[in-house]
Amino acid sequence: MTTSEDTNAKRDDTIVSDPEILGGMPVIKGTRVLVYDVAASVNAGIPRDRILAAYPTIKEHHLDLAVAYAEANPMRLQVHVRLPE
């Protein structure tokens, strides 16, 4: 298995979306930690140890997986418009 395939396999096992957990937003498996929040923190240049202290239920390898997932699956805005009746 190549490094890219290995990362994808880990991502598939580690990042989950369940409609019963935070409305189906992708989270680190076994937590309620949003993948996009972790990725945004890493991309903002927040030190890794500070991110891990803020999210004590995740491990260092989750940071890289979150960034890879967010890059491969950009978050789409959902706009709900209510038209007057």
**pLDDT at residue 2 greater than cutoff 80:** no
CA distances from 81 to 23, 78, 84 (A): 19, 10, 10
**pLDDT at residue 3 greater than cutoff 70:** no
- For 55-77, the pLDDT digits (tens) are 999 999 999 999 999 999 998 87
Please tell me the total count of domains within the chain.
1
| Structural domain span for residue 44 | 3-72
Count of C-beta atoms within a 10 Å radius of residue 58: 21
Within-domain flag for 22: yes
Residue type, 73: N
Within-domain flag for 81: no
pLDDT confidence of residue 34:
96
Within-domain flag for 85: no
User: What's 59's domain CATH number?
Assistant: 1.10.10.10
- Does the global pTM surpass 0.85? no
pLDDT confidence of residue 9:
45
- For 40-55, the pLDDT digits (tens) are 999 999 999 999 999 9
